[in-house]
Amino acid sequence: MHLIKFIEIMAILVGAFSGFIEARRKRMDLVGVFTVAFITAFGGGTLRDILLDKRPLFWVIHQEYAILIFVLALVATPLMRTLRHILSERLIVIADAIGLGLFSVAGVSSALDAHMPLFIASMMGVITGIFGGVLRDIVCNEVPMVFRDGKPYAICAFLGNWLFLLMRAVDLPYNLALWVSALFITGLRLVTWRFDMRLGR
């Protein structure tokens, strides 16, 4: 339980941090930095909950996360140059891969609770995992990175979501399915990234 909480916070922080970086690259001010960080961290889950018509939203129940990002935006803006040195690209990719795994599996599981058909549930998992970044790129006036760089990212989430659905279909325990699938997504993302594998265009 404590581990989940820890990873969850880490995933949100990583999302927020990638928002920080992009917002700074676009020379945004404090308001932009906070908003883009917030959208990146919570956009995917929020879109999923709107599509499923589920309320209250995650960040409404846990306003401490919103406050955390707000404080970080205040603190991080002057520290951004230093932070970028400390946080190497490798570290960011690893944390982001953990976030992708966790968010995706949380998404597919939540869609399953809402009695979605299987293919839709797998899509909801992908949406939860990737649409924070998609919305970040739209607000920053870019073609979303995840749609064009050809590196397996959404695909990892998609395959891992089906692993989860399969494990649930053969009645494996919920927690086991959750952890194995999240680990699978994170691992697949890291392996394909490490060996620079590409999707055909």
- Name the residues that contact a second copy, by CB under 8 A: 23, 26-32, 35-36, 46, 50-53, 55, 57, 59-60, 63, 66-67, 70, 77-78, 116-120, 123, 134, 138-144, 146-150, 153-155, 199-201
The nearer residue to a second copy, 31 or 176, going by C-beta atoms, is 31
The nearer residue to a second copy, 59 or 164, going by C-beta atoms, is 59
| 3-class secondary-structure state, position 114 | coil
| 3-class secondary-structure state, position 148 | coil
In the complex, least distance from residue 31 CB atom to a second copy, rounded to whole angstroms: 4
The token pair at 185 is 């997504």
Left, alpha or beta for 196 (phi > 0: left; psi -120 to 50: alpha)? left
The nearer residue to a second copy, 49 or 190, going by C-beta atoms, is 49
The nearer residue to a second copy, 7 or 35, going by C-beta atoms, is 35
In the complex, least distance from residue 18 CB atom to a second copy, rounded to whole angstroms: 16
**Cβ neighbours of residue 54 under 8 Å, at least 6 residues apart?**
48, 110, 114
The token pair at 35 is 């908003």
